[in-house]
Structure 1
Amino acid sequence: MQRFTDKVVIVTGAGSGIGEATARRFSQEGANVVLAGNTKAKLDRVARDLPPERTLVKVTDVSNYKQVQALVAATLKRFGALHVLFNNAGIAVEGTVTEAPFDGWDKIMATNVGGVFHGCRAAMPHLIESKGCIVNTGSVSGLGGDWGMGFYNASKGAIVNFTKALALDHGRDGVRVNAVCPSLTFTPMTEDMKGDRKLMAKFNERIPLGRGAQPEEIAAVVAFLASDDASFVNGVALPVDGGLMASNGQPDMA
């Protein structure tokens, strides 16, 4: 498929994981892709495999609005337009409300929620002009709670509801806004979990498909939401979770 030929896409958190996989997917489908992230070496590694004439690397701290404005400006200068914004950059902070680092709240809100706000604020006028779209990375952790992940849950819950509000406010401008909500996905953020057999067994028992996701599986859904195939999909927080949220929480009694 070449659904994004001549389209311009910004991907934040593009240096690894879901961001990397999605940037590659957009590029494979013909897009001009702007790789944004904190670490130039990671972005350069991804960019090496992509067509240089259709790829731009821009080191960006999404928690800093001026840097996000500069990201959008660099995109317009290089490619002349913006059609898709994938707000994906994020961090995790573990611990209960009394145990998690006190400054962890500000850090996770600045990156996860602030980063999405900054991207939407800076990009929206240009997306209105192009009749483009936004896809935000939410999480099943934004649709329900986790033990010991309250800060992360709060940030992802904010993203999910902000997505819905943006969809209401800008649908008539021709801009669709949706969120993808993965469950366990094997990325660098979850790398240390893979070696914990007991924990993985618990995940595999709870997820009806019996496994976690690969980043490419999330990328495929992001590409769908950003494409004309989803032209009447707006304000959706789509679980990509192997059926996890189909359960009412009661155990398998087979």
Structure 2
Amino acid sequence: MSRLANKVILVTGSATGIGKAIAKRCVAEGAQVIIHGLEADLAANVVAELGSHKAVAHVEDLTAEGCPQRLVDLAVKTFGKLDAIVNNAAMVSQGNIHDTDAAFFMKMISVNTLAPFLLIQAALPELTKTRGNVLNIGSVNAYSGEPNLLPYSISKGGLMTLTRNLGDTLMRENGVRVNQINPGWVLTENEAQRKREHGLKEDWYTDLPKVYAPAGRILWPEEIAAAAVFWLADESGPISGQVMDLEQHPFIGRNPPKDSSTIPTK
């Protein structure tokens, strides 16, 4: 039996990377999905791959006023209801205490923390009807992060607190579960491109120091998607307000030796 049969799931940032993998896995498990992203061609490609009877796309910046409500309305108009949202869309950019200005910091918070809150707020009436759930996609950087990922790490820390807080509140008041996955270093299209832009070789991910990749490789988006299904499915029962780290080593308190490679880990 399909684990997500007859469910309607909205996945933000699903034109590429982890979000795309989650959307594809959701459809494979019997769901219908709303694809969201900033690139119209990439979003259209995902819908074409999944089939228009299984997916519909919406292209818009999540921080645009009214975007969360438009996404919810599209789900209800197209598929008749909304069972779950996956807050996956995120801004990933470097910044530290010395080079981060207020505008950059606020943009990071707006995309990575405020936008998920506003989407939950907009979706809550529909999720209450279906006793649905929310899955936030965070990062292991939420616990402290790297020096050059300061604003990003703070934004993901805020998202984790949002998950813990609403996981309690919405379960008691609305019957809606809220949980979170914190991925480690994942080989997405965007991550591969970022590292090439940083000057690394084309196949940089094939030869990583064991301190960063004990398994000899980093995570695949499909592995994050496999874990997401558990939280989106009814089999996770009443569990709410929980955060699950998905990384191949214990991140907290694990500091690479000073002579190790300087490849950033996330």
RMSD value, Cα:
2.1
Residue identity over aligned pairs, in percent, reads 29
Offset at 1:189? 2.8
Distance 2:255 2:67 in 1: 46
Q: Secondary structure at the match of 1:216?
A: helix
What amino acid sits opposite 1:188 in the alignment? Answer: E
Distance 2:131 2:52 in 1: 26
Distance 1:227 1:95 in 2: 36
Q: Secondary structure at the match of 1:95?
A: coil
Are the counterparts in 2 of residues 93 and 104 from structure 1 also a CA contact under 8 Å? no
Distance 2:62 2:207 in 1: 31
Mapping for residues 41-60 of structure 1, pairs under 5 Å: 41-60=41-60
Tell me whether 1:227 sits opposite 2:229 in the alignment: no
Residue number in structure 2 paired with 1:186: 187
Residue number in structure 2 paired with 1:88: 88
Offset at 1:128? 1.0
User: How many pairs does the alignment contain?
Assistant: 250
What amino acid sits opposite 2:99 in the alignment? Answer: E
What amino acid sits opposite 2:219 in the alignment? Answer: A
Are the counterparts in 2 of residues 207 and 241 from structure 1 also a CA contact under 8 Å? no
Q: Which runs of 4 or more aligned residues in structure 1 lie more than 4 Å from their structure 2 counterparts after TM superposition?
A: 196-200
Mapping for residues 21-100 of structure 1, pairs under 5 Å: 21-100=21-100
Residue number in structure 2 paired with 1:123: 123
| Structure 2: gaps (5+ residues) | 258-266
Residue number in structure 1 paired with 2:142: 142
Distance 1:67 1:232 in 2: 29
TM-score (norm 2): 0.87
Distance 1:2 1:16 in 2: 24
What amino acid sits opposite 2:245 in the alignment? Answer: P
Residue number in structure 1 paired with 2:171: 171
Residue number in structure 2 paired with 1:243: 249
What amino acid sits opposite 1:47 in the alignment? Answer: V
Tell me whether 1:158 sits opposite 2:164 in the alignment: no
Q: Secondary structure at the match of 1:34?
A: strand
Q: Secondary structure at the match of 1:205?
A: coil
Offset at 1:81? 0.6
What amino acid sits opposite 1:168 in the alignment? Answer: D
Change in CA separation of 1:147 and 1:129 when aligned onto 2, cut-off 3 Å:
same
What amino acid sits opposite 2:238 in the alignment? Answer: F
Question: What do the CA deviations read for 1:33-82 (whole angstroms, capped 9, x no partner)?
Answer: 10011221110011111121121111132112401111101111111110
What amino acid sits opposite 1:240 in the alignment? Answer: L
Residue number in structure 2 paired with 1:15: 15
Are the counterparts in 2 of residues 127 and 133 from structure 1 also a CA contact under 8 Å? yes
Question: What do the CA deviations read for 1:6-59 (whole angstroms, capped 9, x no partner)?
Answer: 110000001100000000000111111100112211100111111211211111
Distance 2:118 2:82 in 1: 15
